[in-house]
Amino acid sequence: MDLLLSLLVFVVGAYSLLITIRAMLQVMRVSPTNSVAQAISRATDPTLQSLRRKLGSFQRIDIASVVVCLLLESAITASNLFFYQPDAINSPAGFAMVTLLLGAIGVLSNIGMILIVLLIVRVVFSFIPVQSSSWTSLIIEASNTVLRLFSRFNLQIGPIDLMPGVLLLLLYFGLQLLSQFTQGILSSGLLGN
């Protein structure tokens, strides 16, 4: 049972991560003609199309992607709590509230991890020559969008731009803060204890 649950949580988590990447690529305005972006869209379209027609979008944010990510992350949290901490669940309302809150934290953690990987790969690309491909153009386009947000802070020393390193540190500490917040929620008795 544990192996089956772990496998199911892994598959659902990977799909949630894929939907998060899709939403982020849309927000970052990565070219929709990029073959990697198209593959991600094709993989996530079956889940999102009918919901997107009902929910639409807000500015550049695909509301359907956000809702599905939140629901998937909440389902992962609920299954983990239900199977690994069943004694902690005394109140259905508390359980639902904690699951949604931890699902939202899971979505934020996914976004943080994607940005960390994106920035690390971008830093590596700045030191080694890479051939142009769909992957490299996707990474460069997306990372340029992130770095442009912070371009007003000039953290350049000679030819070295320190902004990616500063952003990596901020993201790392942000993820640590989310992790501590999650631990605090789980130990606080919000599940109905």
DSSP 3-49: HHHHHHHHHHHHHHHHHHHHHHHHHTT--TT-HHHHHHHHHHHHHHH
Q: Is residue 7 part of a domain?
A: yes
- pLDDT over threshold 60, residue 147: yes
Rounded CA separation 115/126 (Å): 16
Q: Is residue 192 part of a domain?
A: no
Q: Is residue 26 part of a domain?
A: yes
**Domain extent at residue 93:** 2-187
Cβ-Cβ contacts under 8 Å for 188 (sequence gap 6 or more):
none
Query: How high is the mean pLDDT of the chain?
Result: 84
DSSP 74: H
Q: Is residue 148 part of a domain?
A: yes
Structure tokens at 117: 């990987």
Read off the pLDDT of each residue in 47-75 and give the average, rounded to a whole number. Answer: 84
Q: Is residue 103 part of a domain?
A: yes
- pLDDT over threshold 90, residue 5: no
- pLDDT over threshold 60, residue 184: yes
Read off the pLDDT of each residue in 82-110 and give the average, rounded to a whole number. Answer: 82
173 band by pLDDT with thresholds 50, 70 and 90: very high
190 band by pLDDT with thresholds 50, 70 and 90: low
- pLDDT over threshold 90, residue 59: no
- pLDDT over threshold 80, residue 93: no
* C-alpha closest to that of 43 among 76, 9, 20, 75: 20
pLDDT at 159: 78
- pLDDT over threshold 70, residue 192: no
The tally of domains found in the chain comes to: 1
